Amino acid sequence: MDELPILPTTVIGSYPRPKWLREAIRLHKAGKVSDEELTEAFNDAALAVLHDHYLAGIDVPTDGEVKRDEMVEYFAERLGGFKFYGPVRVWGTAYYRKPAVVGKIEYKSPLLVDEFNYTKSVSYTPNVKITITGPYTIAYWSYNEYYKDMKDLVFDLAKIINKELHNLVDAGARIIQIDEPAIHSNKKDVSWAVEAVNEAVKGINAKLVVHICYGDYRIVAPYLNEFKVDQINFALKIYNYRYLELFKKYGYEKELGLGVIDVHSRRVESAEEVAKDIKNSLEYFPAEKIWINPDCGLKLLPRSIAFQKLVNMVKGTKMVREELKK
Ligand SMILES: [Zn+2]
């Protein structure tokens, strides 16, 4: 990993897919675009996202996860033991193909190594981040029709994720983020769910990050220091930062990824607003321990808005860096 400025800027992972990629996927399903052509389209889309991140000035980019349809489905499709029924409605008119666990989870072949190798080969910085969905979230968003209890399923998934992380590190991954948006869904599960994440990252020599977003952080706050990772990033802007006080109360001591962009709103935060929010957070945690990121993935926003939000996020961060120099 190369040296980073103070208050490094990053993204959570996903970014809007270029419209033409959605069209290429549709044509591939219809048999009008070959596998090889689709791979090329995926790679070109990753390049386009990295270029947006470069133009915005992001210190630690991703490829926008443009090669993954969805954060659980992608993994369930590639592991043994899963089966898909029909789509379930998650909200409004949004549907999600919920996988079912029908046998012992098996690691068949690397999941993200090709994706990472391509991203690394075209990235403008070696400080590229690779994201993977965590064991609790994969299990929580699937039907369990095989394991006696959910805990057994989660720990089997943790072992498999650990194998994948070893392969990613061997391929050169230096910054790895485990996405666990569901980890605070059930109060009685949190303590062992954190243990499962620790099992997933066991022996992994990389900068390790956990992403936790929407929900009640009071459930997970007492356990945050138990994660064996370097950093946790959170959706905070949407809650007007009210959880910072809670993290401080529990003596949170890792790096904090500060969500300063509301990804559920099309309103573009100004650079001044971002700067003000960062400065307020400095009343709770030292600048040396803070990274700057959006609340969550930007996937569901129009691309032009997602881009402008990142541009202003970086501008606002640079304003604070200048002030810190004085
Ligand atoms: Zn999220």
Residue-wise pLDDT tens digits, 127-166: 999 999 999 999 999 999 999 999 999 999 999 999 999 9
The reported pTM is 0.96
Whether 296 has a binding-site annotation, put simply, is yes
pLDDT tens digit sequence for 3-24: 999 999 999 999 999 999 999 9
CA distance 240 to 260: 9
Whether 211 has a binding-site annotation, put simply, is yes
Q: Quickly tell me which residue has 């243990």 as its tokens.
A: 195
Query: In which band, very low, low, confident or very high, does the pLDDT at 1 lie, cut at 50, 70 and 90?
Result: confident
Tell how far the Cα of 233 is from the centroid of ligand 1, in angstroms.
Answer: 9
Tell how far the Cα of 213 is from the centroid of ligand 1, in angstroms.
Answer: 5
CA distance 25 to 320: 42
Tell how far the Cα of 180 is from the centroid of ligand 1, in angstroms.
Answer: 8
Tell how far the Cα of 35 is from the centroid of ligand 1, in angstroms.
Answer: 30
- pLDDT at 92 exceeding the cut of 90: no
pLDDT > 90 in the chain, percent:
94
* Mean per-residue pLDDT, 33-56: 98
* Mean per-residue pLDDT, 155-178: 98
Tell how far the Cα of 37 is from the centroid of ligand 1, in angstroms.
Answer: 31
H runs (alpha helix) in the chain: 19-29, 35-56, 73-78, 113-122, 135-140, 150-170, 190-200, 217-220, 243-249, 271-281, 303-325
Q: Three-state SS for 151?
A: helix
- pLDDT at 89 exceeding the cut of 80: no
CA 164 to chain centre: 16
Q: What is the pLDDT of residue 4?
A: 97
Show the CA angle centred on residue 47, arms to residues 318 and 59, nearest 5°. 20
Residue 82 main-chain phi, psi, to 5 deg: -105, 155
Q: How many CB atoms lie within 10 A of CB 323?
A: 12
Tokens read off for 180 = 């666990």
Q: What is the pLDDT of residue 120?
A: 98
271 Cβ contact partners less than 8 Å away, ≥ 6 residues apart: 312, 315, 316, 319
Q: What is the pLDDT of residue 2?
A: 81
* Mean per-residue pLDDT, 32-44: 98
Contact 50, 66 (CB under 8 A): no
Q: Is 240 left (phi over 0), alpha (psi -120 to 50) or beta?
A: left
* Mean per-residue pLDDT, 102-121: 98
CA distance 53 to 38: 23
CA 76 to chain centre: 17
Tell how far the Cα of 301 is from the centroid of ligand 1, in angstroms.
Answer: 14
Tell how far the Cα of 296 is from the centroid of ligand 1, in angstroms.
Answer: 4
Longest dimension (CA), the chain: 60
Tell how far the Cα of 229 is from the centroid of ligand 1, in angstroms.
Answer: 17
Tell how far the Cα of 12 is from the centroid of ligand 1, in angstroms.
Answer: 7
Tell how far the Cα of 113 is from the centroid of ligand 1, in angstroms.
Answer: 22
CA distance 201 to 84: 28
Q: What is the pLDDT of residue 96?
A: 77
CA distance 271 to 310: 10
Tell how far the Cα of 211 is from the centroid of ligand 1, in angstroms.
Answer: 6
Separation of first and last alpha carbons in the chain:
27
Tell how far the Cα of 265 is from the centroid of ligand 1, in angstroms.
Answer: 14
Tell how far the Cα of 106 is from the centroid of ligand 1, in angstroms.
Answer: 26
Q: Average pLDDT, whole number, for the chain?
A: 96
